[in-house]
A and B are shown apart, each in its own frame.
Chain A
Amino acid sequence: MSDLPLSPVSPIARPGWASRVPVPVLLAAAFLAVLAFSMAFPRVVTPYDPLVSDVAHAMQPPDATHWFGTDRIGRDVFSRVIYGARYSLLIGLSSMIVSLLVGLVLGVTAGLGRRAVDEGASRVFDVLSAFPPVLLSLFVVTFLGQGIVNMAVAVGIAGIPKFGRVLRSQTLGVRRADYVTHAVTFGMSRARVFVRHILPNVLAAVPVIATIDIGSAIIAVSALSFLGLGPQPPTPEWGVMLAEGRDVLRVAWWPSVFPGMAITLTVMAFSLIGKFLARVYGVRTR
């Protein structure tokens, strides 16, 4: 795996390290930085409370006082998008952690173990991925009931096979690497090899894999919220906002377009950064 980015680099003059990073990735990082700042300090970014409604100014198109306009009951859409980032991102993150933890355990076990263990774990992944992720999440929610935690668990379960397979493949790759072979040849015990060499190298891949795939968790969470199975109004979660804006879509596009754009841009940004890091650090993505 080459450690140089494969996409052409734009010849704009930039400080040393940044010259090896493609422009789209830099933009993505900047976007996420701004988003993170807004999530942490929303009051700096917007003076409006996302739950306060000003019915006299309901359904105003975007203008100088309300950058993204106001929704059906007069709430400022921009501040709802900013505050909503917390919900969408944090719930997405939690569900991804669920997928990651289970996927890690299963994937590493599969990558390390004998053929039978590997086959077994792979069957588990096959079974889980035989159910379309959306339907699997719906199935889990049917039992657990609606709500934020249940939804995060449901999305998390649906994401297990993806992480499991990638981590298995990463484990297999590390296992066959030179430094591991050397360690084994020199008599290091299997356990020490695992703890000293395999585990750290697999875990090192986790943040990169997470960055690439958190986007799908965010989309899945907002989809279930859109369907009404997650946070309830007036929570400004992005999927909920899209559901609320639907009925008046014909006369007011802004309560729906902006939250959706937020989701798309966030997911794109994570994808770009994650894929770049994968190329740089030689992490398998499949």
Chain B
Amino acid sequence: MKAVHLSLAGLAAVAFVSILSGCGKSDSAQTGLSAQAAKPVSGGTLTWGVTTEPACFDPHRSSQQNAFWVERNYIDSLISKKTDGTYAPWLAKSWSVADDGKSYTFNLRDDVHFTDGTPFNAAAVKANFDYILNNVSTTSASASLLVHYDHAEVVSPYVVRLVMKQPDSTTLESLSSVKLGFISPKALAENHDLCGGGPGVVGTGPFVFSAYQRGQAAVFARNADYRWAPGNAQHQGAAYLDRVTYRFLPEAAVRTGALSSGQVDLIEGVQPTDASVFDKVDGFQYLTGPSATTSFTLNINYTVAPASDVRVRRALRDGFDLDAIVKSVYLGTVQRAWSNIGPDNADYNAALKGSWGNNVAAANKLLDEAGWTQRDSEGFRTKDGKRLSIEIGYPQPYVRDSRDVLIRAIQSALRQNIGLDLGLRINTAGDFANEKATGNWTIYPNTDNPSDVAMELWDMLGDQGFLYNAIRNPDPTITDAINRARLLPVGDARRQLLADVQKRAVDQAFIVPLFAPAYHLAAKSSVHGIGFEPELDGPASSYDIWVDKQGG
């Protein structure tokens, strides 16, 4: 019997030790290899770990920032925006704009087809825009780009003319966006639920959407026929990777753990406290993208009390030290914002820098003047028995990037400094949709999807944008300026107008800009070609990415 016991114990010990040794850090340190091969290698697979599972895979209906760069893998656009702000040919070889700005003519490539065999041509372009106008709400991310669009003319099989009701200087940028990209007309006509993803969503892109496992991952396979990469891509021809998987890992700590143990190759959304795990660490790389077109901003509904009082709004804007909070929460990885337009954008109003914020004494004075002089038992200001409360409604699918932590810190500061109760309610996308539709939202925090700056301001502050279109009496000064700017051609007059809009928005505290977000990626050092797409404000698709043969 003793022998049995001993041998059992021995077995257990052996098993234990072997588990311990085998489960430790993975062999992801491949320093020698990363120094070699500057030459791209075809083949291999790549697994991403990403924050957000897209709620909808149809670029025409999507609204989530984090869905767009996944969609780029299978959706192409007419033109491609370059980092310098000009445009490169893509599915359109060349284009011209009429002198009156009311029509755009595109000469399309004749060698493009969708992955279901349907040819890409002028008819396909028209079919897509018709689809948007007929099936998608006018305040959606895609349809709002087409507000001044009238119709498309098929001039010849590969020449399409887009006719506008009025000139719209946001058009070219909009056309370079994935939101106005192309799905096969056959797929559109079949009326599937394109939001549901999977092989039914057919595009012309470098990858085919081969499978979607809800709650788990989206899988893409190489499109071997791909020959029509944009003019500013790092290479031409088919993608390098055989297969790409985007795994949905909503928690930052889990993503970090997945990359550091080698279960994924590349992660998006590295939280500030985890940057040191990958930055300048053997076997890994850490990349930061450019600042977004819009900064993360609190949009305050200035038509609803108590925020209808400009003194209350200004007190909120100035009642806390934003610099200190941003620095503390983000550990210096991002900058605080001064405008709702991002600082790297050409139309950013740089004069706003240093012009507002962090003036607690003035904020308190304003609130006293506004009559909020009593305090309740928890220290919040009250007037006529009612507490000074404004609530932020933040839809769960859009929460990412420690932004809720940031708001909590601001909430705490406002309570201590000026006795204002800034509520934070993480609600559902459905809640927000309802509030938007009735104009009952109070504060909506967001970075807008990237588009032309006039378009951004239209979206967030214009009287036909998704926030204010249901509100009866928006500020006419700002809405006029926004509407006019969209009609002007790109140039100095427009830029001035956009700068004025930003100034008024901040001055009247219609908005409180918080910080300029950037994407933080980390990857194994065996992954190459990771980039950022200018028109996505985010990571580029997996088209230009390749992996070392041994790694992957």
Measuring CB to CB, which residues of chain A are less than 8 angstroms from any residue of chain B?
49, 51-53, 55-56, 58-59, 72-75, 232-234, 246-252
Contact = CB atoms under 8 A, between A and B. Distances in A.
Contact of B253 (A51, A52, A233, A247): A247
Q: Which of B251, B252, B413, B425 has the most CB of A within 10 A?
A: B413
Nearest to A75: B412
B412 A250 contact: no
Given A55-B321, A247-B253, 5 more contacts: A55-B329, A55-B409, A74-B409, A248-B253, A248-B271
B325 interface: yes
Contacts of B252: 247
A62 to B, nearest CB: 18
Given A246-B253, A250-B256, A51 B415 contact: yes
B234 interface: no
* Nearest 9 interchain pairs by C-beta: A55-B328, A53-B412, A73-B409, A58-B328, A251-B273, A247-B253, A55-B325, A248-B273, A55-B324
A73 B405 contact: yes
Interface SS majority for chain B: helix
Interface SS majority for chain A: loop
Given A246-B253, A247-B252, A234 B324 contact: no
A250 B324 contact: no
Interface of B: 251-253, 256, 271, 273-274, 277, 321, 324-325, 327-329, 405, 408-409, 411-413, 415-416, 424-426
9 contacts: A53-B416, A55-B329, A55-B409, A56-B324, A72-B405, A232-B425, A234-B412, A248-B253, A249-B253
B408 A233 contact: yes
B516 to A, nearest CB: 18
Contacts of B425: 232
A74 B326 CA distance: 13
Nearest to A57: B328
A234 B329 contact: no
Contacts of B327: 55
Contact of B413 (A53, A59, A246): A53
Contacts of A75: 412
A250 B415 contact: no
Contacts of A49: 416
B408 A73 contact: yes
Contacts of A59: 273
A52 to B, nearest CB: 5
A250 B329 contact: no
B416 A250 contact: no
A55 B413 CA distance: 9
A246 B251 CA distance: 10
Given A52-B412, A234-B412, A250 B328 contact: no
Contacts of B415: 51-52
A250 B274 contact: yes
Nearest to B416: A52
A229 to B, nearest CB: 12
A117 B489 CA distance: 84
A234 B408 CA distance: 7
Contact of A73 (B277, B328, B424): B328
Given A55-B325, A73-B329, A250 B273 contact: yes
A250 B408 CA distance: 21
Contact of B411 (A234, A251, A252): A234
Contact of B409 (A53, A232, A252): A53
A73 B274 contact: no
A52 B277 CA distance: 30
A72 B277 CA distance: 18
A49 B321 CA distance: 19
A243 to B, nearest CB: 11
Contacts of A249: 253
Contacts of B253: 246-250
A75 to B, nearest CB: 7
Contact of A51 (B324, B328, B405, B412): B412
